Amino acid sequence: MKSKAAYLTPYFLWIALFVIAPMALILYQSFFSITGHFTFANYEEYLSSSVYLKMTFNSIWYALIITVLALAISYPTAYLINQLKNKQLWLLLIILPTWINLLLKTYAFIGLFSQNGSVNDFLRFVGLGSHQILFTDASFIFVATYIEIPFMILPIFNSLDELNPSLINASRDLGASNWQTFRRVIVPLTMPGVKAGFQAVFIPSLSLFMITRLIGGNRVITLGTAIEEHFLVTQNWGMGSTIGIILILAMFVVMFLTRDRKNRGGQIR
């Protein structure tokens, strides 16, 4: 009994100080105005201002586009990799780019997308002429999808890998076509992986402020960008915390909608 307490003291201290306290503080802070008075004004302002509401809607919309795009690219990829001979090695190659610092990958796109960058060189070469690519919505969505794809592939691959092949054989034996087997057997049984991937991509996509800053210029404002702006630029922590609470609520909604598997498809198993 005694040793249990000794094991857990630092760990419980961590939970109290770094899990519960910060979350409580962000809620507490959201009720204070920039001058330090207790008020509901932040929430009132948030709910009545078309700027904040539009920003929230946009942020959710962008995150949805990024997640759906990542899913559309990742599902076939995971499916095809699962059928390869050295699938674990190929999976490792998918995971490897997640070990490269996210900012370096983003930085690469500043070069690729710039006015005289390689993408524009290519467009000129095929006769499409050069375009402003950097600092557009499309470039933000592209880069964010690029960064998130491995996190979508991993959980889907795992669920495909766990799928019992005799179920697919059974479906074939019972006369199902390839498409029927895919739609009626493979897709439903890999739904947990898709949900886990959805969670792993959607929630970070709401808060990727560094990519909006570096690639989206200041055109794309997500919930994350707004929080960073309020905390580190305008120093309006109350409003920043209010948006933070909204982001936490959005996170809970997503987790509720995609519940049944809780582990985030992290970098490595």
Partner 1 sequence: MKKKFHLSNLYLILVFAVLYLPILYLIFYSFNAGKTMDKFTGFSWQHYLTLFADTRMISIVINTVIIAVLSALIATLIGTFGALGIQQLRKRSLRNCILSLNNVLMVSPDVIIGASFLIFFTFLGIKLGFGSVLLSHIAFSIPIVVLMVLPKIDEMSQVMIDAAYDLGATKWQALTRVVLPAITPGIFAGYFMAFTYSLDDFAVTFFVTGNGFSTLSVEIYSRARQGIDLEVNALSTLMFVVSLLLVGGYYALTRYNESKKIHRARAAEEEISQ
Site for partner 1 in 149-168 (CB under 8 A): 149-150
Q: Which stretch binds partner 1 (CB under 8 A): 37-45, 52-60, 169-177, 257-265?
A: 257-265
Place of tokens 């982001």: 247
In angstroms, give the least distance from the CB of 63 to partner 1: 11
Buried b (16+ CB within 10 A) or exposed e, 90-126: bbeebbeebeeeeeeebeebeebbeeebebbeeeeee
What x/- string results for residues 50 through 79 when contact with partner 1 is judged by CB under 8 A? -----------------------x--xx--
Q: What is the dihedral of CA 47, 200, 62, 79, to 10 degrees?
A: -150
Name the one residue in this structure whose structure tokens are 């059928």: 83
Cα 186 to the center of its chain, rounded Å: 24
Among positions 47, 51, 108, 167, the unique one binding partner 1 when judged by CB under 8 A: 108
With binding defined as CB under 8 A, does residue 105 bind partner 1?
yes
Q: Is 186 in the site for partner 1 (CB under 8 A)?
A: no
DSSP state of 91: H
Dist. CA 40–CA 159, nearest whole Å: 45
Q: How many residues bind partner 1 (CB under 8 A)?
A: 79
Q: What one-character-per-residue DSSP string does 245-260 give?
A: HHHHHHHHHHHHHT-S
Residue 209 touches partner 1, criterion: CB under 8 A = yes
> Taking the complex as a whole, how short is the minimal distance between the CB of residue 27 and partner 1, in angstroms?
9
Q: Which of 3, 48, 50, 164 binds partner 1 (CB under 8 A)?
A: 3
DSSP 1-23: -HHHHHHHHHHHHHIIIIIIHHH
- 111 is a site residue for partner 1 (CB under 8 A): yes
**Selected binder of partner 1 within 56, 158, 159, 207 (CB under 8 A):** 207
By C-beta, is 65 or 214 nearer to partner 1?
A: 214
Q: Under the criterion CB under 8 A, does residue 228 sit at the interface with partner 1?
A: yes
Among 97, 180, 219, 253, binds partner 1 (CB under 8 A): 97
46 binds partner 1 (CB under 8 A): no
When binding is defined by CB under 8 A, the residue of 67, 156, 237, 265 that contacts partner 1 is: 237
CA distance 242 to 33: 10
- Which stretch in 33-41, 45-53, 184-192, 255-263 sits in contact with partner 1 by CB under 8 A? 255-263
CA dihedral 74, 256, 141, 222 (to 10 degrees): -160
Q: Which residue in the set 68, 117, 131, 185 belongs to the binding site for partner 1 (CB under 8 A)?
A: 117
251 binds partner 1 (CB under 8 A): yes
Taking the CA atoms of 135, 136, 140 and 142 in sequence, report the sign of the dihedral they define.
negative
Question: Which tokens sit at 231?
Answer: 């905390």
For residues 9-38, which are near partner 1 according to CB under 8 A? 10-11, 14-15, 17-23, 25-26, 29
Question: Rounded to an integer, what distance in angstroms lies between the CA atom of residue 244 and that of residue 67?
Answer: 21
